[in-house]
């Protein structure tokens, strides 16, 4: 059996059981968290292996129990370095197939390449569905200026709110009755939005072209809010960040950051860049394809701070940089100021 590519959430069997494997770092469970937070009606529960210390705060259940609750598929809710499917996960994936669930993956490794999994799926009459598959015939980037308006979220690191910020800004723009579309660039965003471009699965020479495909010409008042990937400063993932920046040609970018984080995720010993450095690098490199690019503000993941402490920090940093600083999940007046700055 071949695993099937999928880029439309409407074509995916729902609702989901979220599989957390044996993940121990919350940053690697961002697929599960994203689906829980932005598509809660599609999530029945979660299933984790011994050794897991991260939870999506959903009901823990086996695949068989999820099936009786109406689940139709088990989604791998982990996005680990390299997008690999460890060998010791195989029994759990086969358990889901035997229980009557399809298996959906956003990993780089194709489900059909996991030994024994295609045979188990065929025997159970279930599907293996891969989301992280780019379309065929992506062109190289042209740098041609496109019509419409674009906002890109960028970051000091991976997994610190670029997707959440883009989704929150999209919702805020739409509430202001602006013609706005969220453009997903990662597997979780694609599952939430119903389409997109898995940028980190695109061959390097075609990254900018893929970003141009993702955000084509649009009406003058239309906004594409584009989910960022990686960080221009990450020793492993800067390439996809740069291709996305050049190809998306953002008019506005928002810097995403987690206060208190010191080292790059998955790269111990590499310190996070400063927000000033991220703004400067994004302006320098972004001007190559959009000379008018500007920073609209900063979005914090302040979830580890008490509300009062988060508010004080964001107010102080906003004054420091003369830019709005907000938490897109906490919302409030600070987030309203960020929205207005992006639209100014």
Torsion of CA 163, 165, 170, 173, to 10 degrees: -170
**Which domain-ending residue is among 130, 164, 186?**
130
Residue 97 belongs to domain spanning: 4-130
Query: CB–CB of 108/201 below 8 Å?
Result: yes
- Residue 257 inside a domain? The answer is yes
* Residue 1's pLDDT band (cuts 50, 70, 90): low
Q: Examine the domain organization and report whether 98 and 209 are in the same domain.
A: no
- What is the domain-level CATH number for residue 164? 3.40.50.300
pLDDT digits (tens, 9 = 90+) for 158-206: 989 999 999 999 999 999 999 999 999 998 898 888 788 999 999 999 9
3-state secondary structure of 344: coil
By C-alpha distance, which of 267, 245, 129 is closest to 191?
129
Q: Examine the domain organization and report whether 160 and 124 are in the same domain.
A: no
Q: Examine the domain organization and report whether 232 and 311 are in the same domain.
A: yes
- Residue 138 inside a domain? The answer is no
- Residue 142 inside a domain? The answer is no
- In angstroms, the CA 157 to CA 272 distance is 7
> What pLDDT is attached to residue 113?
94
Q: Examine the domain organization and report whether 188 and 320 are in the same domain.
A: yes
Q: Examine the domain organization and report whether 160 and 285 are in the same domain.
A: yes
Bridge partners of 323?
none
By C-alpha distance, which of 58, 39, 40 is closest to 48?
58
Q: Examine the domain organization and report whether 246 and 274 are in the same domain.
A: yes
> What pLDDT is attached to residue 8?
43
Of the two residues 5 and 264, the one the predictor is more confident about is 264
- Residue 248 inside a domain? The answer is yes
Q: Please state, rounded to an integer, the average pLDDT across all residues of the chain.
A: 94
Q: Examine the domain organization and report whether 107 and 227 are in the same domain.
A: no
- What is the domain-level CATH number for residue 67? 3.40.50.720
By C-alpha distance, which of 178, 235, 200 is closest to 83?
200
Judged against a pLDDT cut of 60, whether residue 5 lies above it is answered with no
- Residue 119 inside a domain? The answer is yes
Q: Examine the domain organization and report whether 209 and 334 are in the same domain.
A: yes
Residue 171 host element (H or E): helix 162-175
Q: What is the DSSP letter of 158?
A: S
Q: Examine the domain organization and report whether 91 and 161 are in the same domain.
A: no
Residue 75 host element (H or E): strand 73-76
- Residue 140 inside a domain? The answer is no
pTM here? Answer: 0.85
Question: How many structural domains does the chain have?
Answer: 2
- Residue 276 inside a domain? The answer is yes
> What pLDDT is attached to residue 4?
52
């Amino acid at each position: 059996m071949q695993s099937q590519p999928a880029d439309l959430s409407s074509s995916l069997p729902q609702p989901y059981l979220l599989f957390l494997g044996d993940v121990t770092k919350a940053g690697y469970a961002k697929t599960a968290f994203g689906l829980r937070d932005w598509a809660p009606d599609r999530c029945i529960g979660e299933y984790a292996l011994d050794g897991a210390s991260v939870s999506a705060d959903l009901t823990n259940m086996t695949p068989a129990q999820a099936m009786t609750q109406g689940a139709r598929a088990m989604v791998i809710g982990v996005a680990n370095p390299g997008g690999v499917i460890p060998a010791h996960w195989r029994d759990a994936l086969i358990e889901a197939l035997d229980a009557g669930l399809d298996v959906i993956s956003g990993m780089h490794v194709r489900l059909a390449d996991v030994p024994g999994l295609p045979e188990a799926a065929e025997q159970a009459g279930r599907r293996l569905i891969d989301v992280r598959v780019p379309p065929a015939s992506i062109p190289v980037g042209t740098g041609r200026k496109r019509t419409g308006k674009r906002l890109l979220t960028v970051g000091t690191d991976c997994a610190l709110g670029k997707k959440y910020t883009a989704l929150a800004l999209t919702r805020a723009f739409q509430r202001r009755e602006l013609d706005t579309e969220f453009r997903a660039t990662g597997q979780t965003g694609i599952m939430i939005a119903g389409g997109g471009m898995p940028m980190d699965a695109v061959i390097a020479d075609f990254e900018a072209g893929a970003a141009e495909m993702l955000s084509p010409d649009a009406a003058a008042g239309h906004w594409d809010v584009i989910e960022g990937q990686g960080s221009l400063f990450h020793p492993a993932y800067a390439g996809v960040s740069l291709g996305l920046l050049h190809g998306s040609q953002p008019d506005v970018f928002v810097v995403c950051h987690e206060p208190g984080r010191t080292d790059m995720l998955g790269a111990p010993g590499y310190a996070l860049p400063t927000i000033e450095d991220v703004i400067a690098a994004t302006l320098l490199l972004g001007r190559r394809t959009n000379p008018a690019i500007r920073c609209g503000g900063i979005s914090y993941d302040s979830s580890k701070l008490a509300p009062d402490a988060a508010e004080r920090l964001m107010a102080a940093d906003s004054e420091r940089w003369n830019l709005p600083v907000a938490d897109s999940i906490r919302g409030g007046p600070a987030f309203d100021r960020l929205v207005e700055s992006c639209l100014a």
